[in-house]
Amino acid sequence: MTAEWAMILAVLIPLFGALLIAFTGKKPNLRESMSLLTSLALLTTVLSLLPTVLAGNQPSVTLLDIAPGLAIKFVLEPLGMLFACVAALLWPINTLYSIGYMRGNKEQHQTRFYICFAIALSSTMGIAMAGNLLTLFICYEVLTLSTYPLVTHKGDEAALKAGRVYLGILLSTSIGFLLLAILWTWYLTGTLDFKAGGILDGKVAGPELIILLFLYMYGIGKAALMPIHRWLPAAMVAPTPVSALLHAVAVVKAGVFTVVKIVVYVFGLDMLKLSAGADWILWLAGFTIIVASIIALRQDNLKRRLAYSTISQLSYVILAIFILAPLSTAAAALHIAAHAFGKITLFFAAGSIYTAAHKTNISQLNGIGYRMPWTMTAFSIGAISMIGLPPTAGFLSKWYMLMGAFQEQQLFAVLVIIASTLLNAAYFIPIIYAAWFKQPEQHEHSYGEAPMAIVFALMITAALTLLLFFFPDVPLQLATSIIGGQP
Amino acid sequence: MIESHLSLLIVAIPLIAAPVVAVLPNGRAPWLFSTLITWSVFYLAILQLTNVLTGGVVSYELGGWAPPWGIEYRIDSVNALVALIVSGIAAISLPYALTSVAKEIPKKQTSLFYAAFLLCLTGLLGITQTGDIFNLFVFLEISSLSSYALISLGKNRRALTASYQYLIMGTIGATFFLIGVGLLYSMTGTLNMQDLSQRLPEIFEHRTIHTAFAFIMVGFALKLAMFPLHLWLPNAYTYAPSIVTIFLAATATKVAVYVMIRVIFGVFSLHLIESTPTDELFLLLGMAGVIAASISAIYQTNAKRLFAYSSVAQIGYMVLGIGFGSVLGLTASFVHIFNHAIMKAALFMALGAILYRTGSNQVKDMRGLAHKMPWTFAAFVIGGLSLIGVPGTAGFISKWYLVLAALEQQSWIVVVVILTGSLLAVAYVWKLVEIMYFNSGSNASSKTSSEDIKEAPLSLLLPLWLLVIANIYFGFDTSLTVGIAEPAAKMLLGDKP
């Protein structure tokens, strides 16, 4: 199988899986096996592409030309490979978790759930491998639309309202700003291809460059840069596996991935260094990191606290990329992976607590560590990774981020990173402390660990968070080759 | 034989078939015969388009009288494409008609209905085919009169007033057009459009020409429901039978837009509209139409009326393209004529299927339908996405070229208006999607009454899905739409960049 075919397959396998799920919808066991099989097939396909990319190749396929110069095109470069690997790796685990969670909570419409999930993964693969802005934009919109039924899964009044916020913000930013930015780029350059060093270089300058940059940054609503972050906490009404999909596997990751991709391959680092606009975005990202952390500190609902934590962590990626140093670019790419593993563990744990103990608030978690030891161990590992302490993946990306900031003498970025690390610690450590060291309240109904599938899934992701610290070679090589080994 | 008389046959076949259908016994026979006729016309239109694309402009002399004295049918890629749209929509909607008409139109009127339908088709095709401006008026009247009749067939008695309202407005429009044509004739002594375009430049400064231009523009602005002359349209679309709404929404206004473009660029010239405030006026009215009609759409309680207002907004986009007077702008208008035809036909077909099952197109009666009619719902969502202009659908291509045309002119305000229009479309499409998708709030009484609702019959679903697939297909393959529209725009503008 050539790399080109494997790329096409990576997009088609989840779609085909969606069909299989639809046909086997009447038999839950068969349906879930199909879902798992599809996700494993996707993982195999994506991993088979890894050696090619590590060897420095960039396979590319043009599917069709919409108009002269406008093509549906896939190109696999290191950054996309990293993102595709993360998503493909987390999907089977998430599926396993979903099976436990959806059955444990007796959710309705499970067939629809698995179908939409598969379609979302297909579009995520499309985003990861997009060879130009148009392909990326199409897949970006498909991802928004396919996750809408997932966010509104419960189908009640609250879900309807959350869905409205979700779709309203994501669609209006992408149509209002991102599409305009893409069209403007096309008008200026006559191409939408991603190119090392950027395609806009020398084509736009001064205030126009700043406007274009802001159109891109606020057009990518999925990156949740303040003040367009509201959709993310709103989407918390969805079942936990969906939150995991939004926060770790696909949606927000697709957002920051797009940001990195556009900065590196559309603007180019060198060009942005000369513009004041880049500094403004850096400040906005810093602002988002701090403010979101402070809001997170004040949340008692566990999932909401995690949601605000995600908003702040996403801006780490934006901050890192806008330091505009080679090292921090690698850090941005690494952080996409590191945050994915850590955050999915945290959400799995939150869902596990909800399934087993029916608790949603942090104030109810006293002493829970002894009733659900596996869950809370995993939670602690995830939290440590969020704070950025060794031996977890979060440390790695933060380290490179700081190095890059020092290299560029970005004192502001350094201060933000330090301050936010303290804030992260301030909102995660109390949870860990309460879980392990506080006495449980009396007269509590008894409960134990969550179903096997859930516990198993969250143990894997916690292990991955640790493993990424000890064996960072492959992601590190991919991340550094974004800035280094460009043809 | 067919080859040489192709241009005439496309108009003549449905014209001759109409009286035949009228005398057929009520029931299935008129439907079968009309279907046969429209599909053969569709085939001929495809043939005509390929001929024009390979062999260039076709000029057909009616009755062998040489132009400019005789009537000339002059087919270039522009009207060949419009003829394809009109006949194609007719061909796709007729299979849909059998079931839909049986439900919505009394049996004793079926043969008359199909006769009127064919006459309307004749009129619309005639308008696109002809190269003679008076002949155009004649076909305009044929299509208008038959569409008044078609609209009045609606079950709701308000269809009669809607039809009457349309009749008054339409007649004013047609009269204005005729006055303009008369003035042109008095100044040039010719009615052939090609000939007119050669004689007019010498006398452009003449006040009579300006008056004629104004009359023709206002007349057709009425026919194409350009904001603020659109007031007849929402009522007509709402109360007409489903099949009539589908057909008229997808074709009648599109043909009017085509005439507008043809008259402006093929008879008068870009020079004239640029020396008068016409182009600014078009941009202004186009923008106002997009915003005002989209906002009105959001507040409608009847789904058909909602999409009728959306049509007015979409016409605004086409008017914007004309206002730019550039190759990109006209390309966008043509592409949108095509794309809007297939998306609106799909959406009205979905509403027709809902009406067939529930007997209502009120928004409040559509609650929870997604679970009972999943296929109709899915088609509706895709059609709606195309209307919004989500990438991967035909609507995206229209928006792409339209925004590009605006960027080229550096008119940022138009860019903002177009994108705002898309966002307003999100609001009104999603209002319906939400109410169909979510079950919440439905009380027990409405549940029991709607329990027997099931998926629409296959005869409605198949044409609907054909159009939905077309919406996706033309979002990726633009060789038919852009590939024809771009050279056509260049030709109309005389290669002026």
Q: Give the per-residue pLDDT at B155.
A: 84
Q: For residue A301, list its beta bridge partners.
A: A361
What type of residue sits at position A174?
S
Asked if the Cβ–Cβ distance from A183 to B404 is below 8 Å, we say yes
Pairing of strands A60-67, A70-75: antiparallel
Q: CB count, 10 Å around CB of B5?
A: 13
Token pair of B129 as six digits: 């085919």
Secondary structure of A396-416 in HEC code, one letter for each residue? HHHHHHHHHHHHCCCHHHHHH
Q: What is the mean pLDDT of chain A?
A: 87
Q: Which secondary-structure segment (H or E) carries A72?
A: strand A70-75
Residue A216 has pLDDT above 60, yes or no: yes
> Å from A71 to nearest chain B CA?
9
Q: With b meaning 16 or more CB within 10 Å and e meaning fewer, what string describes B125-164? A: bbbbbbbbbebbbebbbbbbbbbbbbbbbbeeeebeebbe
Q: Quick one: how far is CA B267 from the chain centroid?
A: 22
* CA A314/CA A325 separation, integer angstroms: 18
Residue B374 sits at the chain A interface (C-beta within 8 Å): no
Q: Which residues contact A13 (CB under 8 A, 6 or more apart)?
A: A38, A41, A42, A45, A122
Distance between CA atoms of A253 and B250, rounded to whole angstroms?
Answer: 41
Its domain, for residue A72, covers: 3-483
Strand partners of residue A95: none
How far apart (Å, rounded) are the C-alpha atoms in residues B337 and A42? Answer: 41
Residues within 8 A of A (CB atoms), B 305-344 only = none
Peptide bond into B391 cis (omega under 30): no
Please give the DSSP secondary-structure letter assigned to residue A227.
Answer: T
Q: Going from the first residue of chain B to its last (497 residues), give the mean pLDDT of each consecutive group of 10, the final group possibly shorter.
A: 79 91 87 92 92 84 78 87 92 90 85 92 93 91 92 87 92 93 90 86 84 91 88 90 91 91 86 80 92 92 92 93 89 92 93 88 84 89 92 90 90 90 91 82 46 80 92 88 86 67
A441-484 pLDDT, tens digit per residue, is 766 667 777 788 888 888 889 998 888 888 888 888 888 887 76
B441 touches chain A (CB under 8 A): yes
Output the pLDDT for position B466.
93
Rounded Cα distance, B241 and B355, in Å = 10
How many CB atoms are located within 10 Å of the residue B433 CB? 21
Name the closest residue on chain B to residue A173, using Cα atoms. B423
Helix, strand or coil for residue A105?
A: coil
Q: Which residue of A has its CA nearest to B389?
A: A175
A467: contact with B, CB 8 A cutoff: no
Amino acid at A246: L
Q: Looking at the partner chain, which of A152, A163, A175 has a beta carbon nearest the beta carbon of B423?
A: A175
**Burial zone of B454 (CB within 10 Å; 0-12 exposed, 13-18 middle, 19+ buried):** exposed
Q: How far apart are CA B165 and CA B171, in angstroms?
A: 10
The shortest C-alpha distance from B427 to chain A (Å) reads 8
- For residue A111, the distance in angstroms to the closest alpha carbon of chain B comes to 13
Task: Say yes or no for a CB contact (<8 Å) between B388 and A184.
Answer: no
Cα–Cα nearest to A354, from A108, A113, A105, A114: A105
Peptide bond into A391 cis (omega under 30): yes
List pLDDT tens digits, range A119-178: 999 999 999 999 889 999 999 999 999 999 988 888 888 888 888 899 989 998 998 899
Pull the structure tokens for residue A113.
Answer: 């759930």
In whole angstroms, give the CA distance from residue A439 to residue A270: 56
Q: Which residues of B touch A146 (CB under 8 A)?
A: none
Query: Does the beta-carbon distance from B419 to A176 stay under 8 Å?
Result: yes
Please, which contacts does A51-55 make with residues 24 or more away whose CB atoms are closer than 8 Å?
A52/A3, A52/A76, A53/A77, A53/A78, A53/A81, A53/A478, A54/A474, A54/A477, A54/A478
Q: Is the pLDDT of residue A104 over 90?
A: no
- Chain A interface, mutation test: which of B334, B415, B426, B436, most A Cβ atoms within 10 Å? B426
pLDDT at A127: 93
Q: Across the interface, do A168 and B391 touch by the CB < 8 Å criterion? A: no
Nearest CA to CA, how far is A107 from chain B (Å)? 16
What is the C-alpha separation between A465 and B471, in angstroms, rounded? 44
State whether B434 and A164 contact (CB < 8 Å). yes
Which residues in chain B are contacts of A171 at CB distance < 8 A?
388, 423, 426
ipTM metric: 0.86
With 60 as the cut, is the pLDDT of residue A485 above it?
Answer: no
CB contact under 8 A, B434 and A66: no
Nearest to residue A295, comparing CAs of A285, A286, A283, A307? A307
Instruction: Specify the 3-state DSSP secondary structure of A281.
Output: helix
Picking from A141, A155, A184, the nearest residue to B439 by CB comes out as: A155
SS3 A471: coil
Residue B368: closest C-alpha in chain A: A155
The amino acid present at A80, given as its one-letter code, is: G
- Supply the pLDDT for residue B317: 93
Q: Which of B407, B426, B439 sits opposite A172 (nearest CB)?
A: B426
Q: How far is A114 from chain B (nearest CA, A)?
A: 17
A66: part of which helix (H) or strand (E)? strand A60-67
What 8-state DSSP symbol labels residue A451?
P
Written as one string, the DSSP assignment of A362-376 is: GGG-TTHHHHSHHHH
Tokens 């460059």 found at: A209
Distance, CA of A364 to CA of A434 (rounded, Å): 9
Burial of B444 (0-12, 13-18, 19+ CB in 10 A): exposed
| Secondary structure letter of residue A108 according to DSSP | S
Provide the pLDDT for residue A442.
Answer: 66
- Say which residues have a Cβ less than 8 Å from residue B23's Cβ, sequence separation at least 6: B111
Helix, strand or coil for residue A485?
Answer: coil
| Residue found under tokens 């030309």 | A65
**CB-based contact A345:A322 (threshold 8 Å):** no
Among all chains, which residue has been given the structure tokens 């009404």?
A: A237
Residue B33 touches partner A, C-beta closer than 8 Å: no
Residue environment code for A298-309, b if the CB has 16+ CB neighbours within 10 A, otherwise e: ebeebbbbbbbb
Q: Check whether the bond before B487 is cis (ω within 30° of 0).
A: no
d(CA A265, CA A255): 15
Using the Cβ of B230 and the Cβ atoms of chain A, whether some distance falls under 8 Å is answered with no
With CA atoms as reference, report the closest residue to B316 among B280, B341, B291, B348: B291
Beta bridge partners of B72: B61
Cβ contacts of B408 on chain A, cutoff 8 Å:
187
Q: Count of A–B CB contacts within 8 Å?
A: 72
**A473 in B contact zone (CB under 8 Å):** no
Does the beta carbon of A102 lie under 8 angstroms from any beta carbon of chain B?
no
Q: What is the token pair recorded at A157?
A: 């009044």
**Best B386, B390, B472, B474 residue to mutate vs chain A (most A CBs within 10 Å):** B390
Give the chain A residue nearest B409 (alpha carbons).
A187
pTM: 0.90
Please indicate if any CB of chain B lies within 8 Å of the CB of A179.
yes
Question: Residue B74 is inside which H or E element, if any?
Answer: strand B72-75
d(CA B170, CA B176): 10
CA–CA separation, B45 and B10 (whole Å): 7
SS3 A220: coil
CB-based contacts of A106, cutoff 8 Å, min separation 6? none
Amino acid found at B86: V
B contacts of A152 (beta carbons < 8 Å): 437-438
Partners of B391 on chain A (C-beta within 8 Å) are 134, 137-138, 141
- Whether residue A25 lies within 8 A of chain B, CB to CB, comes out as no
**pLDDT of B445:** 41
**Consecutive H or E run containing A71:** strand A70-75
DSSP assignment of B75-116: E-HHHHHHHHHHHHHHHHHHHHHHHHHHHHS-GGGHHHHHHH
Q: Which residue of A has its CA nearest to B474?
A: A66
Domain count, chain A: 1
Which of B458, B482, B441 shows the shortest CA–CA distance to B379? B458
For residue B455 the two structure tokens come to 């998926």
Of A145, A155, A187, the CB nearest to B440: A155
Q: Which amino acid is at B216?
A: I
**Cβ-contact B375, B465 below 8 angstroms:** yes
| Residue B408 to residue A156, Cβ atoms within 8 A | no
Residue A141 to residue B391, Cβ atoms within 8 A: yes
User: Would you state the pLDDT for residue A208?
Assistant: 87
Say if residue A486's pLDDT is above 50.
Answer: no
Is the CB of B430 inside 8 Å of chain A's CB atoms?
A: yes
Chain A interface includes B399 (CB < 8 A): yes
How many CB atoms lie under 10 A from the CB of residue B291?
17
Q: Give the type of residue at B197.
A: S
